[in-house]
A = this chain, B = another copy of it.
Amino acid sequence: MSPIVMKFGGTSVADLERINHVADLVEQQAKTSDGGIAVIVSAMAGETNRLVGLATNAAGPGIQGPDFDDEYDVVVSSGEQVTSGLLALALRKRGLRARSWLGWQMPMITDDAHGKARIEDIEDGKFQKAVSGGEIAVVAGFQGRTEDERISTLGRGGSDTSAVAVAAALGAERCDIYTDVDGVYTTDPRIVSRARKINRISYEEMLEMASLGAKVLQTRSVELAMNHGVPIRVLSSFAEAPGAEDTGTLVCDEDEIMEKQVVSGIAYSRDEAKISLLGVTNHPGIAAKIFARLSEANINIDMIVQADARGPERANMVFTTTERDSELAVSVLEGASSDIKFDDIVVDKHVSKVSVIGVGMRSHTGVAKTMFDALSEKGINIQVISTSEIKISVLIDSSYTELAVRALHTAYGLDAS
């Protein structure tokens, strides 16, 4: 049998009581798995924030970027180190063979982009040997080491990515991500009480769900799992048992999903701002010029619409970004007014993006029509539309967010009976 990888986030290891519960789950898993177990842990809830606060205050506002990030990693990675030692002890208390593994010990080699490093390799060696020898490996998530033997961290939420990387390196049967919800839902259950847990979802759909605001899994971890063909199962760490095959949500290859839904889920995001650049003097290359400026300032642009205004010499350029980045975008464009001529710039933060996602769209027509009909029926005006192969997103007035999500959930037949 192949190894199983289990990952527990901050709320699942928040205190010693929760760590003991995790140890119980691992103990039960060990009884049914004879291919070895690796457990990836986050810092105890609140600990990372405390450490980030210490590092930020020690450095002061003047020390940023590369001058800050390497030592930030030294300070912040200690949180996962502590949890890994504690869980190893809690497992030994249950009579199990276990030991902690820190990023530098495995070693989990990353690039040297401290604070947001990318995993390059997990060296094949004693870590793999220990797991296959039956010793439970408790891995400090979120951390690695650079070629230069400095500690690196993967950025917030990086423990999911650590877990998938470990699963790939071990050729694991599955990577089980234990979290505070019991799976991935067709939409946010806080908005739609009849939201249903999805049993199986494809990597592509999960990627769209994750990047569109469903916060269950980190986007990078899904990408990595897709690239290495590692099945991820999302399940609740509050359950009494590690769960049978059919608990939680399995994120897997499209081929392994028997009954494909046309639409698998509805996602939404309120963290959107619409920026309208009105009366832009239009000439070839103007769009490239605008978005190059924004890209240089590290501003992520999402939806884009360009339309003629008052004849072909003038255009209105409408795009969306995060609320946070919108002020910066305005100042960048105003600062470029010698180069980019326009009449006015208008920011609207009172917008939401609502998306329907499903691999079935590839082979089904009429998905967009269903969406537009459902929204129109509720009197919801669509401001911007963007589509990909497996999703359709619309920008709407944010007052209508819940109404839109509920209407679409019903329209695509996703409501639980």
Instruction: Point out residues on A near B: beta carbons under 8 Å.
Output: 16, 19-20, 51, 54-55, 57-60, 62-63, 67-68, 70-75, 77-78, 81-82, 84-90, 92-93, 99-100, 102, 104-105, 149-151
Contacts and interface: CB of A to CB of B under 8 A. Distances in A.
Nearest to A62: B93
Q: Of residues A67, A68, A104, which shows the largest number of chain B Cβ atoms within 10 Å of its Cβ?
A: A104
Given A81-B78, A82-B78, A149-B105, A93 B16 contact: no
Given A51-B82, A92-B67, A74 B58 contact: no
A92 to B, nearest CB: 5
A154 to B, nearest CB: 17
Contact of A59 (B73, B77, B92, B100): B92
Contacts of A57: 16
B82 A75 contact: yes
A71 B100 contact: yes
A92 B74 contact: no
Contact of A81 (B60, B81, B89, B105): B81
Nearest to A107: B149
B75 A86 contact: yes
B16 A85 contact: no
A77 B104 CA distance: 15
B54 A82 contact: yes
B55 A93 contact: no
A72 B58 contact: no
A29 to B, nearest CB: 19
A20 B16 CA distance: 33
24 contacts: A16-B54, A16-B58, A19-B58, A55-B85, A55-B86, A55-B89, A58-B85, A58-B86, A58-B87, A58-B90, A62-B93, A63-B89, A63-B93, A70-B99, A71-B88, A71-B100, A74-B84, A74-B88, A74-B102, A75-B81, A75-B82, A75-B86, A81-B81, A102-B151
Nearest to A44: B54
A82 B76 CA distance: 8
Which of A19, A55, A71, A75 is the most central at the interface, judged by chain B CB atoms within 10 Å of its CB? Answer: A71
Contacts of A71: 85-86, 88-89, 92, 99-100
Contacts of A59: 89-90, 92-93
Given A58-B85, A60-B93, A78-B82, 17 more contacts: A16-B54, A20-B58, A54-B82, A55-B86, A58-B89, A58-B90, A68-B92, A71-B89, A71-B100, A72-B85, A73-B85, A74-B82, A74-B100, A75-B82, A75-B86, A77-B81, A78-B78
